[in-house]
Structure 1
Amino acid sequence: MYVPQALPEGGELDLPHGAARHAQVLRLQPGDALTLFNGEGGECRATIIRMGRSSVQARIGAHAAIEREAARRVHLLAGLMASERMDWLVEKATELGAASLTPLLTQHCALRLSGPHAAKKHAHWQAVAVAACEQSGRNRLPLIHPPRPLAEGLAGQAEAGDGARFVLSLKPGAASLRAACAGLPAAQTVTLLSGPEGGLSAAEEAQALAAGFTPVSLGARVLRAETAPVAALALLA
């Protein structure tokens, strides 16, 4: 269970609302064991010491420096999609080990976000990532960025320095992502750019190429906007 705070061995803590509710749904009782993590690596065994109607208290055990991260850090830039599809992508990208995910505002986005609505969606995606970590056993949270324009996302990657950059493309002549992966060192950082339901426009793909992205293909079939980056992450893991 995710607890966004320090977890000192031997300490006692009141579980935050989400974790407490999870423990209650599982019908845990005093004396039962659970695993806690704070998203910064490793995890702790803990023991329930008190179950209340709306609160749960646990005693923290020893910290175990367990790592389940992929050797290769993959930063995903994905065109903003319809709500349920974006939720699914955040969930699966987290399970597959993406180091970060940046939703991009592009020409063909089906969803437009700004102001409080954007902030609410961002918080929701962070919660989806937490739940995916809890389900999959991942103990480091991916960084979920707020939505930003494509140009801003590309500029951020340019400032990040070294690392391979790929953009999923349907253009003839795009190299196979599988073949491109074969030539990469196992620990090579990768930035992967994928479009929304309508894909990237020709001008947007040209922007990506100018920013140092290499066009790559997942094969002859056209995959859904939420499926393509998941398939690519599986190849890159």
Structure 2
Amino acid sequence: MFLDAPLAVATEVTLPPDVSRHAQVLRLQPGDALRLFNGQGGEWQAEVLSMGRQTVVVRVDQPLACDRELPRPVTLALGMPANDRMDALVEKATELGVQAIQPLHTSRSVLRLTGERADKRRAHWQGVATAASEQSGRTAVPHLAPVRSVTDWLDQLPAPASDAEQRCLLSFTPDAVPLSSLPSRAGCPLLVLSGPEGGLDPQEETHARQRGFIPVSLGPRVLRADTAPLVVLSWVNFCPLEVVA
């Protein structure tokens, strides 16, 4: 269970309402064991001390070293798909190990979010990511960045820190290279830019290239906006890492 708080051995913690409800749904009882994580690495063994109607108190026991993250950090910058597809994308991307997600407006976006509505959706997606992290056994929760326009985001994107940082633009242009041809190195950050339904327009693709993005192809078939980024994450999960001398 995710607990957004410091954890230390032999401390008693009253779980916040949302986490308490999770424990109650699982029908935990005093004396039952559970595991907590706070996104700072590893897990913590804990024991239920008391179960109330609205509160659950646990005692934090020993830390448990574990690492279930990808061998390299991946950030997805997404032209938001419409309807409930963004919810599903956030959930599955979390399960596959994404580190951060940047929701974007593009010229061809169907979903348009601004102001308070954008803030509420971001908070909702952060909750989806938290739940998916708990379900999949991750010890980190992906960060959902505020909704931005792709133009503003690209303008403020810093230059690549080094040649080891990869920036990929999912594209159907003739010069796009196969994803499988890219080197994959442990610890090498990967930033993936993917368009909404209809993809990015030519001006946006040109802008991305000017910011260091390499056009990448996922094959001859047209994948949905909520499918293509997941293919990249699957590739990162299973692609053999390049040996660096």
TM-score (norm 1): 0.95
Query: Which digits, 9 at most, give the CA deviation of each residue in 1:1-40, with x for residues without a partner?
Result: 0110011111111111111001111111111111101111
Letter in 1 for 2:126: Q
1:95-106, aligned counterparts within 5 Å? Answer: 95-106=95-106
Alignment of 1:30-45 (within 5 A): 30-45=30-45
Which residue matches 1:8?
8
Tell me how far 1:153 sits from its aligned partner.
2.2
Once residues 159 and 3 of structure 2 are traced to their aligned partners in structure 1, the CA distance between those partners, rounded to angstroms, is: 32
Aligned to 1:226: 226
Relative to structure 1, the CA distance from residue 137 to residue 156 in structure 2 (aligned partners, 3 Å threshold; closer, same or farther) is: farther
Report if the CA contact (8 A) 1:40-1:141 is conserved: no
User: How large is the RMSD of aligned CA atoms in angstroms?
Assistant: 1.2
Partner of 1:111: 111
**Percent identical residues:** 48
Task: For residue 172 of structure 1, report the CA deviation from its aligned partner.
Answer: 2.0
Q: 3-state SS of the aligned residue for 1:108?
A: coil
For structure 2, the residue ranges without an aligned partner over 5 or more in a row are 238-245
| Equivalent-residue separation in structure 2 for 1:188 and 1:234 (angstroms) | 16
The letter for the 1-side match of 2:57 is: Q
In the alignment of these two chains, the number of paired residues is: 235
CA distance in 1, matches of 2:187, 2:114: 36
Which position in structure 1 is the counterpart of 2:175? 173
Question: Which segments of 5 or more consecutive residues in structure 1 lack a partner in the other structure?
Answer: none
Residues 58-103 of structure 1 show CA distances to partners (whole Å, capped at 9, x for unaligned) of 1111112322111111111010121411111111111111111100
Distance in 2, matches of 1:17 and 1:83, equals 29
Deviation per CA, 1:109-135: give whole Å up to 9, x if none: 111111110110111011001001000
Letter of the structure 1 residue corresponding to residue 177 of structure 2: A
| Structure with the largest fraction of helix | 1
Partner letter of residue 173 of structure 1?
A: D
Alignment of 1:36-115 (within 5 A): 36-115=36-115
Gap change, CA 1:52 and 1:228, over 3 Å in 2: same
Equivalent residue for 2:138? 138
**Match of 2:25?**
25
SS of the residue aligned with 2:158?
Answer: helix
Q: How big is each residue's C-alpha offset from its partner over 1:170-204, in whole Å with a ceiling of 9 and x where there is no partner?
A: 11231100111xx2323211110000112101111
Moved more, 119-128 or 64-73: 64-73
**2:160–2:212 contact (8 Å) kept in structure 1:** no
- C-alpha distance in structure 1 between counterparts of 2:230 and 2:43, whole Å: 26
**Contact 1:71–1:187 (CA under 8 A) maintained in structure 2:** yes
CA drift at 1:165: 0.6
| Equivalent residue runs for 1:209-224 within 5 Å | 209-224=209-224
DSSP-derived class of the 1:2 partner: coil
Quick check: 1:77–1:153 contact (8 Å CA) kept in 2?
no
Report the equivalent of 2:243. Answer: none
